[in-house]
Chains A and B, each alone.
Chain A
Amino acid sequence: MFYREAGQFKTSYAADQAIFPILQDRLFVIAVLAVAYLVIPFISTPYFLVTIMIPSLIFCIAALGLNVLTGYAGQLSLGTGGFMAVGAYATFKMTTMFPELNIVIVFLLSGVFAAAVGVLFGLPSLRIKGFYLAVATLAAQFFLIWLFNRVGWFSNYDPSGTISMPPRDVFGIRVVGSGAAPEVRYLMVLTLVVVFCLLVKNLVRSRMGRTWMAVRDMDIAAEIIGIRLMWAKLSAFAISSYLCGVAGGLYFAVYLRTVETIAFDVVLSFVVLFMIIVGGLGSVLGSILGAFFITAIPVILTRAPHDLGIPISVDMAQHLEVIIFGSLIIFFLIVEPHGLARLWQIAKEKLRRWPFPY
């Protein structure tokens, strides 16, 4: 009833190929964007923007990146944290070497370095797959973190290996570094997320995306119908690592601002993997939902005992938080293995038939 596509006829090829062919979808997306751009920056507190919105949006990009690789191309990767670290350190090096360079361009370029590293560590995917590949990508994770930790050049010879984001302006507005308003940071990240979502959404509908999905579904069959496996797998690694690299740069420059290599350790890889599993493999919407969900849970869990007025010790709260987080993951996997995106799909079906049961 609310979501009925009946009567919406497509009269041109352009209409047939639109990203959101159904009017309700278009309206929904416009409404979400309007709220994100016009409402949230004005009504929310800086605390909410900094602890939930900014990291969630940054993780949206990382989750999109991993989803391209794991959800669309079917290559399981646990090296996300390492690729994000490449982006972060590339951002730091570029902006300290060329302070005049526009910081947005720095972010976009830092992904290129991550893409190159991603292709290098994606080479084993030509020979191995599944969990063997997942463990092999852990090599990227551990080696890159070690490299950034041990080679002083990457952190400009900081004795503790810490990198800090210097302040940078875009068109006279402070966007990163000390003194940048949370609203400005939020809007910049939001814009990047919107751009990348549109790009990925289009990419997976293109020839390249179809190639990836063919490889995911059965790589031998894909090879037989003439898909170049090497090209398909390595392009997936490159684009995925590009997105992860940009996300890593933002994670460092916009969210944390001062970073040690430990921020990019293997836990980060698992967190991003959780996002796409809980959100939904092979779905752009899923990446976004998963990123928000997994980022928000720990914040809520940490605040919940305090807000509810339950007196428990910090130590105990921490253990409980870990247990609840783990249980929630298992619970979600059992209830809906296809993720939040699938729940959204079901909700749309229900809306279409409402008020009839079927």
Chain B
Amino acid sequence: MQVLFDFLIGPFFQIFEAPIFFVEVVIGGMAAGIMYALVAIGFAVIFKASGIVNFAQGAMVLFAGLTLVGFLQMGAPLWLALIATVVVMVALAYAVERVVLGPLVNQPLIVLFMATIGLSFVIEGFGELAWGSDVHRLDVGLPRGSFFVGDIMIDRFHLVAAGSAGALVVAIVLFMQYTKFGRALRAVADDHQAALSVGIPLRMIWVITWSIAGVIALVAGVMWGTQAGIQFSLVLIAFKALPVLILGGFNSITGAIVAGLIIGVGETVFEVYWGQMMGGATENWFAYVVAMIFLFFRPQGLFGERIIERV
């Protein structure tokens, strides 16, 4: 009985006893969720345009962060380092399209998925070979510290992260809706062959898509780097972004944000109020189990396109 009480009722008492703390926990979870969403958007963009689950997105975040730090350490001013990193990411996108994706056109998706895992090894090894494998501190002058709204403490950095994620989504949506390339991208996402037949250069579209993913990786790298330093473990945030991605629906950018928030809040609250009873570190699996159970009832995720199968 005691166990049941501790598990089912106790945590809610704690919540009602200290509502301010609860709100802070939720805000912390939302901040974490935004960070996951930043990575998940990169996945979603590539999946939308090419149907490829790009496992290398985590490695790209690490690579972008390492490159930025590398340029900064060489003494470049921030704006120059940022531009140079974007150039490097575009070059990377071009190289990936030439070397990996081009020859693998029309292969089964699992083969492409495995190729991106191989790519993830290459990018990660290359980045660390070029810039060293120590933990790098990254400070691009984002505001730190916190302030109070009423009794609730808010971290400025989290506001910046939320703002940049929002800006990123708006920018992507505007790009998709109102530019020529965006229209071409949506056409490719709709139907590869139809897009090809009306003269859309598929290979260039892929380069653009991967470049966008690269820029998103840079933003995510700056955010994660400011929070925890640029280090090898950034590759592993791909594993944090995957459940966010499937919960939101693979091809939905809004879905990535909403699911990121749900999972961030869910796992933080669960860890704080329930995790201790279960031995802690529950955030390792919480997101996956939530996503798995949710998909059991709604296989396409929150905002994914309805899966229609024809025989």
Chain B binds chain A: yes
Residues 276 to 311 of chain B near chain A (Cβ within 8 Å): 278-282, 284-285, 288-289, 291-292, 295-297, 299, 301, 309, 311
Are A142 and B118 in touch, CB under 8 angstroms?
Answer: no
Contacting chain B: which of A53-61, A89-97, A132-140? Answer: A132-140
B125 near A319 with CB under 8 A, answer yes
Please provide the chain B residues from 80 to 138 with a CB less than 8 Å away from any CB of chain A in the complex. 99-100, 103-104, 107-111, 113-115, 117-122, 124-126, 128-129, 133
| Contact indicator B288/A76 (Cβ below 8 Å) | no
Residues of A contacting B284 in the complex (Cβ-Cβ under 8 angstroms)? 142, 145-146
Q: How far is the CA of A337 from the CA of B299 in the complex (A)?
A: 29
* Chain A: CB-nearest residue to B121: A326
Residue from A138, A150, A221 within 8 A of B239 (CB atoms): A138
Partner of A329, one of B121, B126, B239, B250: B121
Whether the Cβ atoms of A330 and B122 lie closer than 8 Å is: yes
List residues of chain A with CB within 8 A of the CB of B107. Answer: 333, 337
Complex Cα gap A316–B133 (Å): 10
Q: From A111-119, A166-174, A270-278, A344-352, give the one contacting chain B.
A: A270-278
The answer to whether B279 touches A76 (Cβ under 8 A) is no
Q: What residues of chain B lie closer than 8 Å to A33, measured between beta carbons?
A: none
A327 near B122 with CB under 8 A, answer yes
Q: Is B165 an interface residue (CB 8 A)?
A: no
Of B145-153, B200-208, B241-249, the stretch lying at the interface with chain A is B241-249
Complex partner residue of B288 from A143, A315, A330, CB under 8 angstroms = A143
Q: Does B53 contact A (CB under 8 A)?
A: yes
CB neighbours of A328 from chain B (8 A): 118
Whether the pair B295, A128 counts as a contact (CB closer than 8 A) is yes
Q: Which residue of B lies closest to A142 (CB)?
A: B285
Interface size, chain B (Cβ < 8 Å): 49
Which residue of B has the minimal Cβ distance to A278? B114
- A150 near B281 with CB under 8 A, answer yes
The answer, yes or no, to whether A15 is at the interface (CB within 8 Å) is no
Select from chain A the residue with minimum beta-carbon distance to B123.
A326
Which of these, B117, B119, B296, contacts A124 with CB under 8 Å?
A: B296
Given A124-B292, A329-B115, A135–B243 Cβ distance below 8 Å?
Answer: yes
Query: Do B291 and A139 touch (CB < 8 A)?
Result: yes
**A319–B144 CA distance with the chains assembled, in angstroms:** 34
Task: Give CA–CA (A142, B289) in the complex, Å.
Answer: 9
B281 touching A146, Cβ below 8 Å: yes
| Contact yes or no, B114 A142, CB < 8 A | no
A196 at the interface (CB under 8 A from B): no
Distance (whole angstroms) from the CB of A64 to the closest CB of chain B: 18
Q: Is the interface of B mostly helix, strand, loop or mixed?
A: helix
Contact A333 B118 (CB under 8 A): yes
A3 interface contact, C-beta 8 A: no
Quick check: A135 and B285 within 8 Å, CB to CB?
A: no
Interface residues on A, range: 35 or more
Report Cα–Cα, A327/B246, bound state, in Å. Answer: 28
Instruction: Identify the closest chain B residue to A121 (Cβ).
Output: B292
- Asked whether A220 and B108 contact (CB < 8 A) given A132-B299, A135-B242, the answer is no
Residue of B whose beta carbon sits closest to that of A327: B122
What is the CA–CA distance of A99 and B121 in the complex, to the nearest angstrom?
Answer: 43
> Do B114 and A273 touch across chains, with their CB atoms under 8 A apart?
yes
- Beta-carbon contacts of A236-279 to B below 8 Å, as 1s and 0s? 00000000000000000000000000000010001001100100
Give the nearest-CB partner of A331 in chain B. Answer: B118
B288 engages A139 (CB within 8 Å): yes
List A contacts of B296 (CB < 8 A): 123-124, 127-128
A130 nearest CB across to chain B (Å): 7
Residue in A136, A149, A220 whose beta carbon sits within 8 Å of that of B246 in the complex: A136
- Complex alpha-carbon distance, A127 and B300, angstroms: 10
Contact of A221 with B125 at beta-carbon distance under 8 Å, contacts A131-B53, A142-B285, A146-B282 already known: no
A221 smallest CB distance to B (angstroms): 5
- Which 8 pairs between the two chains have the least Cβ-Cβ distance? A326-B121, A329-B118, A322-B125, A139-B288, A150-B279, A323-B125, A326-B122, A142-B285
A-contacting residues of B (Cβ < 8 Å)?
53, 99-100, 103-104, 107-111, 113-115, 117-122, 124-126, 128-129, 133, 239, 242-243, 245-246, 250, 278-282, 284-285, 288-289, 291-292, 295-297, 299, 301, 309, 311
Sample of 7 further A-B pairs with CB below 8 A, known A146-B285, A322-B125, A334-B104: A139-B288, A146-B281, A224-B311, A325-B118, A330-B115, A333-B115, A334-B100
Listed A/B pairs (26) with beta-carbon separation below 8 Å: A76-B110, A123-B296, A124-B292, A131-B246, A132-B299, A135-B288, A138-B288, A146-B285, A150-B280, A270-B117, A273-B114, A277-B111, A319-B133, A322-B121, A322-B125, A323-B125, A323-B126, A323-B129, A326-B119, A326-B122, A327-B122, A329-B117, A330-B118, A330-B119, A334-B100, A337-B111
